[in-house]
Every structure is written in C-alpha cells, then in structure tokens.
Amino acid sequence: MYAVFQGYFDHGQFRTQQVESSTGKKLAVIGERFDQEALSSNQYFVLTDDHLSSAKELRHAYDTDEVIFRAASSCLSVRWESLQHLLIECPNESIKSGEIAVEKESYRGVTVSYIEIPKKH
C-alpha cells in the first residue's frame, strides 16, 4: 500500500515549470504532471523545499501533504512576499474553482496568499 501513495504506480511524467527562491534559501516550485494517454488535463502544483526537486521527487510529493496548491490550470506563478509568506497567482482569474484540487492557507510555517484565484469548493 505504501507504493500506491508514494507515486510508484503513477505513470505520468513530471517536470518543473517555475522555481522562485526566497532570501532564506527556501524554494517555491511549480511542478507539472502530464500524461499523453490521460483523459484528464495536466495538473500543476506548488511545493516548497530547500533544494530543486527532481522529476522523481516531484512524483513522490504529488500525492502527499507537501502539495500546497494543485489545479488543472497552467496560469500559475509564485513569488515570495517575505521569508514566511508565499504568493500564488493566476493572472486574469483564468482558473475556475472546479479546477482546484488542493488549496492550503499555510504549510510548515509559511503563510500562503492567493491572487486572482478563487476559493476551492
């Protein structure tokens, strides 16, 4: 059962879309899960870490509580407001609440604010 929850059977591909560094050497990472055979759309997700995640690490993190935000929209960008405050935004409010799978307000001491992103229903 451990293998199921750690992404071992997930045949999707993973890649990094954006990395934003804070002054405290913490990284905000936007990852993408895509699969040419999937019937659903690509998924974009945000993590924080102290190093740049490999595709394998992104795969393992995808189904864990490490994901701060996840949605089926490529409009995402991230930036640090301060060492403990992360901004996640989607220009022109092009993301819909039904596309959002995960939306946390905080994670491991980092407060998360959303700009032009609706609340998840």
pLDDT along the chain (121 residues), means of 10: 48 92 92 78 94 94 95 95 96 88 96 95 77
- Asked if residues 49 and 27 have their Cβ atoms less than 8 Å apart, the reply is yes
Report the pLDDT value the prediction gives residue 2, as an integer from 0 to 100: 46
Q: Which residue has the tokens 């640090």?
A: 80
**Which residue spans within the chain are E strands per DSSP?**
13-21, 27-34, 43-49, 69-71, 77-82, 85-89, 100-103, 106-107, 110-115
Report the pLDDT value the prediction gives residue 35, as an integer from 0 to 100: 84
Integer Cα distance of 11 and 85 in angstroms: 33
> Around Cβ 64, how many Cβ atoms within 10 Å?
11
Integer Cα distance of 94 and 40 in angstroms: 18
The domain ranges of the chain are: 2-115
Report the pLDDT value the prediction gives residue 92, as an integer from 0 to 100: 81
Q: Global pTM?
A: 0.87
